Amino acid sequence: MSGGFAIPDSGDRAVLLLSGGLDSATCLALAKAKGRAVHALTVSYGQRHAAELAAARALAADYEVEEHRIVSVSLDAIGGSALTGDLPVPKAADPGSGGIPATYVPARNTIFLALALAHAEVAGASEIWCGVNAVDYSGYPDCRPEFLRAFQALAGLATRVGVEGGRAPRLVAPLLEMSKKEIVLAARDLGLDLGRTTSCYDPDESGRACGSCDACLLRARGFREAGLPDPTRYRPGIQIESRPST
Amino acid sequence: MSGGFAIPDSGDRAVLLLSGGLDSATCLALAKAKGRAVHALTVSYGQRHAAELAAARALAADYEVEEHRIVSVSLDAIGGSALTGDLPVPKAADPGSGGIPATYVPARNTIFLALALAHAEVAGASEIWCGVNAVDYSGYPDCRPEFLRAFQALAGLATRVGVEGGRAPRLVAPLLEMSKKEIVLAARDLGLDLGRTTSCYDPDESGRACGSCDACLLRARGFREAGLPDPTRYRPGIQIESRPST
């Protein structure tokens, strides 16, 4: 399973895919702790959970990134996902129970990494960081190390360096083999304000979490297993059994 | 060089990247001639040459495609290309003289094929057609067969089939090894109305071609070598030496 996507010992400029969720925020905190000049890239793709964009903006400001670019992609024109609006967001499913859930967005990570590759070329970045995780995840095909390896191979051919020589940006996925519990603990150790992150796939207008989608369940389980209180703001009346009493 | 991207003997449903240019229009005519049910996909990416979009719409209607989806991607938020507005379009350059011109859009074909892959998954298409050409082209890294091979490998891992089994959509690039002359002749033989296509990177507001960008020069040379009159509408006062007298 080991994929060679650990953080290199040295590095300077990195494009970082920043969604505003727990994983990408932890990535951001890690990249800054490792001395990277971060060029954050957020993709607005017609997702239901636009609260993500506000969280991404706040995190980019908190961490004083070099620049934060937001690229819009109208994936709702393609559809096929609960996250872009043409399917309901499944609730109270058992994350990791097998099968690919309706929240899967077709080819999303291929599209996101392609945009990051473009941005890395323009910014002259030698690394592309992403919060992809293959342990406590929802079974998405494009979160697996073999997918990242194939994208790394493509990156060596897809841009100027494929013709002119030089090195393609290196994919860095520091959370790839971490459990959600380990991610929560790493974020705490890095001093990340976890209340700034949002994970819910189906928040209300105020950005309050539903407590029952895959992302909420995985997040709550991570906090529970880490023994930390979850600062998530839930909709009124939501009881999260997995939330420790505070 | 041969890449295995020729048209398969049989096939049913195909996503086809349709820009409105000569190459993708020829692809469309070929796909229809080969009996494919075409799901056309056009990417609006902040390009200077929005006349392309109008041409794509007209062609999609002419050929009675199953559906025509237009996905917007704000690549101008990334920049780095003459086509997305932050560099001037080079004129009267010598196409194919080596080097990657300013009209190169970073990672464009990776982004486009990623969107096509998403669309193919949603539409249940077994093929992705694109008009990529590695002969009379502008030296873009992502027009080469080795790039397409790497993307094909990625496609097998990036979507549901990578986990659930089944075949990933097959990339079809029927123009890959054709000269522009051969493409013009193929288009004529297929009955494509070449006046419906647009190639210029820097047209005026009325969609009239500049006559001096890479795309105009390559197109004009193709028509000249094919011995056919070029129906391109040029801006007033433009003299195209390569246009045969009619």
What is the ipTM metric for this complex? 0.91
Q: Which of A151, A152, A161, A164 to mutate to test the interface with B (most CBs of B within 10 A)?
A: A151
Q: Name the pTM for this structure.
A: 0.92
> Rounded mean pLDDT of A217-234?
92
> Rounded mean pLDDT of A162-171?
91
pLDDT band at residue B222, thresholds of 50, 70 and 90? very high
The full set of domain ranges for chain B reads 13-183
Q: Is A86 on the interface with B (CB under 8 A)?
A: no
**Mean pLDDT for chain B overall:** 89
Contact (CB<8Å) A159/B142? yes
Q: Residue A111: which of B118, B153, B164 has the nearest Cβ?
A: B118
Residues of B within 8 A of A142 (CB-CB) are 157-159, 162
Contact (CB<8Å) A79/B122? yes
In contact, A242 and A221? CB cutoff 8 Å: yes
For A41: left if phi > 0, alpha if psi spans -120 to 50, otherwise beta; the answer is beta
User: Which carries the bigger pLDDT value, residue A140 or residue A120?
Assistant: A120
> What tens digit of pLDDT does each residue of A186-214 get?
999 999 999 889 889 888 888 899 999 88
The CATH homologous superfamily for domain B13-183 is HUPs (3.40.50.620)
pLDDT at position A244 is: 47
Q: Taking a contact as any Cβ pair under 8 Å apart, which residues of chain A between 127 and 186 contact chain B?
A: 139, 141-142, 144, 146-147, 150-151, 153-154, 156-164
pLDDT at position B239 is: 73
pLDDT at position B246 is: 41
Question: For the domain A13-226, what is the CATH code?
Answer: 3.40.50.620
pLDDT band at residue B87, thresholds of 50, 70 and 90? confident
Cα separation of B124 and A116, whole Å?
27
Q: How far is B185 from chain A (nearest CA, A)?
A: 30
> What tens digit of pLDDT does each residue of A6-27 get?
999 999 999 999 999 999 999 9
pLDDT band at residue B226, thresholds of 50, 70 and 90? very high
pLDDT at position A94 is: 52
Contact (CB<8Å) A80/B158? no
Cα separation of B221 and B62, whole Å?
26
In contact, A223 and A142? CB cutoff 8 Å: no
Output the CA torsion sign for A207, A212, A218, A222. Answer: positive
